[in-house]
Structure 1
Amino acid sequence: MTFASFGIILYYIFSDLPPIANRHLVGTLYDFPLFFGTVLFGLKTVGVIIALENNMKTPKSFGGYFGVLNISMFMIVLLNVGLGFLGYWRYGEETQSSITLNLGNTDLLAKLVQGLNSIAIFISYGLQGFVPVDNNMEFVFAETFF
């Protein structure tokens, strides 16, 4: 669902891409704290990462230069930076807090993207609580039977 949304968003971006010379390449110093906060918010997967390493068949594959963590985080950063750059290039200063809001509310494809993203967030939201629930269930199981 997320990759389908990315594809549709890229369709909207490339449909009318202005010259890059029309955009400011560097923001103001005042906006940098918001930028860094947004970047860190976009990379908030600590709870899922810990669970992933603990449940891997070969946990040694998790770390290292070409381990699961570095490769997956590289791909996530690449997708976020790429979509952010292209979204700013297309919409400039009118870019809203979510690029899906720039697509409009009348087109069927724009509504489809918003729906797909909503469903993807709804489905994946439970993953954020996986580690506390999983650890708590082990504790309850051990307390009950031992």
Structure 2
Amino acid sequence: MEWLNVEINGMVFFICSFFPFIFVISMKNLRMVGNVCILSTLIVFGGLGFFYWNYYTVVPPLDDIKITFPIVIHLPAFFGSLIMSLEAITVISSFEGSLRTPKRFTKFFGIFNLGMIIIIAIHSSVGFFGYYMKINDEKSYSDQAAKTFKYYTALYCIVMYIAYGLQGYILVDMLWRKTHKRTSNTKI
């Protein structure tokens, strides 16, 4: 397997990615989960900054090209990543009970709705500019720009990896509570 011009054995890649995933899923302390969320958010902002910096320095202006709408077959990839980010509801809703004012969480201008609006706006802008760069890729796109966007893709994959672990945290936490009650009451 070759990734970012580095040859990696498939088994080594699996082992290196499996244990951090198990670590994220099996965290018991909510403060540690919060720190992992902060790390993920910082990676997102770094990746978005990297993406837009490359966009404004490498890609020609919008006036130079005629934008056509995508074929319907290519849209599921964009909606798939958008739905994956909206699945963060499972992570966010578990924190609702620990808020000081949980009723304000889901109001019209509550943090939940504002967060989802921001996520949709970010994904829509990245989708639009990514599609625009794909159009330019066929015309006159440099090889260096294509390499730099691989790094953005790598950062985005790391964030998705952490997000899936955090979503699994909720499930493992619920299972742990149920099995812990059953196993702690049994006599050996």
Distance 1:34 1:122, change over 3 A: closer
Is the CA contact (8 Å cut-off) linking 1:64 and 1:70 kept in structure 2?
yes
Distance 1:133 1:55, change over 3 A: farther
TM-score normalised to structure 1 length: 0.71
Is the CA contact (8 Å cut-off) linking 1:18 and 1:89 kept in structure 2?
no
Map Cα deviations across residues 24-58 of structure 1 (whole Å, 9 max, x no partner).
Answer: 1x334x43862674343442223213312233332
1:2 to 33, 37, 44: 44
Tell me the percent identity.
Answer: 24
Residues 102-121 of structure 1 aligned to structure 2 (within 5 Å): 103-105=145-147, 109-110=148-149, 112-121=151-160
Q: Does 1:137 align with 2:176?
A: yes
Distance 1:47 1:93, change over 3 A: farther
CA distance in 1, matches of 2:130, 2:150: 18
Deviation of residue 68 (structure 1)?
Answer: 1.6
Q: Does 1:22 align with 2:62?
A: no
Report the counterpart of residue 92 of structure 1 in structure 2.
135
TM-score normalised to structure 2 length: 0.57
Map Cα deviations across residues 67-115 of structure 1 (whole Å, 9 max, x no partner).
Answer: 12101101101111111112222332759xxxxxx9423xxx5564344
- CA RMSD of the aligned region, Å? 3.1
Report the counterpart of residue 56 of structure 1 in structure 2.
99
- Mark the runs of 5 or more structure 2 residues left unpaired by the alignment: 1-42, 139-143
Deviation of residue 120 (structure 1)?
Answer: 3.0
The alignment of Structure 1 onto Structure 2 pairs a total of residues equal to 135
